[in-house]
Amino acid sequence: MPETKNKMTFKDYMNKPERLAPGHRMCAGCGGTIAVRAVLRALHEGDQAVIGNATGCLEVSSFMYPYTAYTDSYIHNAFENAGATMGGVETAYNILKRKGKVKDNYKFITFGGDGGTYDIGFQSLSGAMERNHDMVYVCYDNGAYMNTGIQRSSATPMYADTTTTPVGKESDGKLQNRKDLATILAAHDIPYVGQSTFISNFNDLHKKAEKAIYTKGAAFLNVMAPCPRGWRYDTADIMEICKLGVETCYWPLFEVDHGQWILNYEPKKKLPIEDFLIKQGRFKHLFKPGNEHLIEEFQAEVDRRWEDLLYNCSR
């Protein structure tokens, strides 16, 4: 069970000190930054953290040796070993704590983009989770390798226009469906998995981050974190895009807490997927006359996954 202290309101959360200091170089309107700030705010006062970070936008923009934008300890890692490194740090901490050499309480949180998490770092993430290290791995999922110029990843949704799946006469964008990583992590049978994004007052993300950090054992959080450059939207639209992701059931809010699947939000009226897609330049081609069938296929995939989730949550 989470070691939740007292009940906190949203205002309490927002009044907590920032643990990602201002002055980093992330883009305006970047979802990754919002995700990191929200997750770190869930740390209880007095607790220290070691932050791990796979290579990516977040790392290059919040860390330039010897400076970091974090008020906590920070380790930059290659994609391939971000999970393994934090597992090692947690193990070393347990030994030092037992020997009385470390007095403070530490929590272990690794951040990675979807390229580093779904693809390149997947083996070390899977291993760290399976070994049940007391750590949280947070994927800020912006749906492509954004730092190197918007290349497709296995998190990129079908038909998205990326630099390695360019839309043109011969191509409608990415051909494959996105990998459902939260479900794959749930199949690791770890204590906690949560999927979230930014909606209304951020309560969903705050609660899940706190649960993930304070649940004993391995936890994984998947946060949809839009990227204005890659998704091609007006920076001011980020909150609306996240809301539409949830209201269309493209990005359902759910958690798997010690094996129990819980749907955190069910839209009163599921919106058509067009409402989510039309806000983003990467899907512009889907709205050309003659491409209606592509949207229908997209919708069918969203429906299929939503039904699967409802089934899992009803068991």
Q: How far apart are CA 138 and CA 17, in angstroms?
A: 20
Residue 140 burial (C-beta neighbours within 10 Å; 0-12, 13-18, 19+)? buried
Token pair recorded at residue 258: 């010690």
Asked whether 112 and 195 are in contact (CB, 8 A), the reply is no
Q: Is 56 in the site for ligand TPP (CB under 6 A)?
A: yes
**What is the residue-wise DSSP string for 83-138?**
HHHHHHHHHHHHHHHHTTS--S-EEEEEEEEHIIIIIITHHHHHHHHHTT-S-EEE
CB of residue 48 vs ligand TPP: minimum separation in angstroms? 25
Q: Which stretch binds ligand TPP (CB under 6 A): 14-22, 110-118, 160-168, 246-254?
A: 110-118
**What is the residue-wise DSSP string for 170-232?**
TB-S--SPPP-HHHHHHTTT-SEEEEE---TTSHHHHHHHHHHHHSSS-EEEEEE---HHHHT
**Which one, 16 or 229, has the nearer CB to ligand TPP?**
229
CB of residue 52 vs ligand TPP: minimum separation in angstroms? 13
Q: Which stretch binds ligand TPP (CB under 6 A): 49-57, 85-93, 129-137, 276-284?
A: 49-57
Q: Is 146 in the site for ligand TPP (CB under 6 A)?
A: yes
Give the residue from 233, 181, 223 showing the smallest Cα distance to 58: 223
Q: Is 83 in the site for ligand TPP (CB under 6 A)?
A: no
Q: Is 142 in the site for ligand TPP (CB under 6 A)?
A: yes
From candidates 63, 79, 233, 276, binder to ligand TPP by CB under 6 A: 79
**Which one, 31 or 191, has the nearer CB to ligand TPP?**
31
Site for ligand TPP in 114-133 (CB under 6 A): 114-116, 120
Q: Which stretch binds ligand TPP (CB under 6 A): 142-150, 172-180, 257-265, 282-290?
A: 142-150
Q: Reduced to 3 states, what is the DSSP secondary structure of residue 146?
A: coil
Give the residue from 47, 32, 131 showing the smallest Cα distance to 83: 131
Q: Which stretch binds ligand TPP (CB under 6 A): 56-64, 90-98, 269-277, 297-305?
A: 56-64
CB of residue 61 vs ligand TPP: minimum separation in angstroms? 9
Q: What is the DSSP letter of 31?
A: H
Q: Is 58 in the site for ligand TPP (CB under 6 A)?
A: yes
Gyration radius from the chain CA atoms: 19
Q: Is 165 in the site for ligand TPP (CB under 6 A)?
A: no
Q: Is 247 in the site for ligand TPP (CB under 6 A)?
A: no
CB of residue 59 vs ligand TPP: minimum separation in angstroms? 8
**Which one, 141 or 210, has the nearer CB to ligand TPP?**
141
CB of residue 79 vs ligand TPP: minimum separation in angstroms? 5
**Which one, 156 or 196, has the nearer CB to ligand TPP?**
156
Q: How far apart are CA 58 and CA 77, in angstroms?
A: 12
From candidates 29, 31, 87, 113, binder to ligand TPP by CB under 6 A: 113
Asked whether 244 and 298 are in contact (CB, 8 A), the reply is no
Q: Is 153 in the site for ligand TPP (CB under 6 A)?
A: yes
Asked whether 219 and 213 are in contact (CB, 8 A), the reply is yes
* Interface residue list for ligand TPP (CB under 6 A): 32, 55-58, 79, 112-116, 120, 142, 145-148, 153
